[in-house]
């Protein structure tokens, strides 16, 4: 059965684009989702001012009028199913309890609407079948933490529930070493520093995160590795692990990540030998992962190299210095 949501426009809403108004009024629906529902005719309106009846055929660009009632009919969601897919995995380490994987840039960690296939979970299911921890459910088997689609690098996947619980406890008390390398805009005054600023949903755009007073505490420590005038190569270490933490924190202090399509500048960077189209996402890699093995108690530490695009940009910056 369809879920029905009703939203009435107030005086302050008059003149807003319909898709923007409804996305702000219904936090669980993104603007793109609203646009799709409009295209499918699943949003109708009753014009209170004119007294006219229910109308369909609404467009995203339509202007909202005070008093109009909008009715959104949401179809029953389809259940997602994670299916095994023969996708190569770069396995850095494996034992009876856990796996350390070097995730490539462009791969989503677990299935979600819009990304049902081609994910790390689909690949893990093919290579390990039922031999993964079930604590996080069928869509996230063995997944303890994740990194963004366009961030490459190391993450741990648990085979046993015992290992999963142990890793989750270490994450909760910030007892895991996680060091990232990134190239950011601008030059730093100091060689190292800390950003301690809470992160939550951006109130102006639900698809983004932002530094905000009512967010969750987030701490990032950074140090300069190389300076290139208009750009800087840095290491960032996570004390906490919020969504988009490094990307949001660097933007908040005036140093957004190079290539970041969400938090970076809209114009292409000027780097000799590098086209803007070469940067298909932020230059960020989860380079170091260290922890105490949750079952054996052994100290584990792994480090990966830099992806090809990252290295090419670094080389170009060094030549132009």
Q: Could you list the active site residues?
A: 148
Taking residue 36's Cβ as centre, other Cβ atoms within 10 Å add up to 14
> Strand pairing of 284-292 and 152-158?
parallel
Spell out the residues 6+ positions from residue 314 whose beta carbon is closer than 8 angstroms to its own: 183, 226, 233, 306
Work out the burial of residue 234: count CB atoms within 10 Å of its CB; fewer than 13 is exposed, 13-18 middle, 19 or more buried.
buried
What span, in angstroms and rounded, lies between the C-alpha atoms of 238 and 246? Answer: 8
- Report the chain's terminal Cα–Cα distance, integer Å: 62
DSSP 8-state assignment for residue 308: H
For tokens 């029905």, the residue is 4
Query: DSSP letter string over 17-81?
Result: BHHHHHHHH-TTS-HHHHHHHHHTT-EEEE-TTT---EE----TTPBP-TT-EEEEEEPPPPPP-
| Phi, psi (rounded to 5 degrees) for 164 | -60, -45
Answer whether 243's CB lies under 8 Å from 206's CB: no
Alpha carbon 57 to chain centroid distance? 34
Question: Rg of the chain over CA atoms, in angstroms?
Answer: 23
Among 210, 208, 254, residue whose Cα is nearest residue 232 = 254
Answer whether 210's CB lies under 8 Å from 248's CB: yes
- Greatest Cα pair distance, the chain, in angstroms, is 73
Answer whether 147's CB lies under 8 Å from 119's CB: no
DSSP 8-state assignment for residue 115: B
What span, in angstroms and rounded, lies between the C-alpha atoms of 316 and 274? Answer: 7
């Amino acid at each position: 059965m369809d879920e029905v949501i009703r939203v009435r426009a107030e005086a302050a809403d008059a003149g807003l684009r319909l898709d923007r108004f409804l996305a702000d009024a219904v936090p669980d629906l993104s603007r793109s989702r609203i646009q799709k529902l409009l295209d499918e005719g699943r949003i109708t309106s009753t014009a209170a001012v004119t007294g006219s009846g229910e109308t369909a055929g609404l467009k995203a660009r339509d202007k909202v009028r005070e008093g109009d009632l909008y009715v959104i009919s949401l179809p029953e969601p389809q259940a997602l199913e994670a299916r095994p897919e023969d996708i190569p995995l770069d396995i850095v380490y494996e034992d009876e309890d856990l796996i350390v994987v070097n995730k490539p840039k462009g791969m989503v960690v677990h299935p979600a609407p819009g990304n049902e296939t081609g994910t790390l979970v689909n690949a893990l299911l093919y290579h390990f079948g039922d031999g993964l921890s079930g604590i996080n459910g069928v869509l996230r088997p063995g997944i303890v933490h994740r990194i963004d689609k366009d961030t490459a690098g190391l993450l741990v996947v648990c085979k046993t529930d015992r290992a999963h619980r142990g890793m989750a406890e270490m994450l909760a008390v910030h007892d895991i070493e996680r060091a990232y390398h990134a190239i950011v805009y601008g030059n730093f005054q100091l060689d190292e520093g800390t950003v301690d600023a809470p992160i939550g949903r951006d109130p102006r755009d639900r698809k983004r995160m932002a530094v905000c007073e009512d967010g969750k505490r987030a701490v990032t420590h950074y140090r300069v590795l190389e300076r290139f005038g208009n750009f800087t190569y840095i290491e960032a270490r996570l004390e906490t692990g919020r969504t988009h933490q490094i990307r949001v924190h660097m933007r908040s202090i005036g140093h957004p990540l190079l290539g970041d399509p969400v938090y970076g500048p809209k114009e292409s960077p000027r780097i000799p030998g590098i086209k803007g189209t070469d940067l298909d996402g932020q230059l960020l890699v989860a380079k170091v992962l260290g922890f105490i093995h949750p079952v054996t108690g052994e100290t584990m530490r792994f480090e990966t190299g830099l992806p090809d695009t990252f290295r090419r940009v670094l080389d170009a910056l060094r030549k132009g210095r």
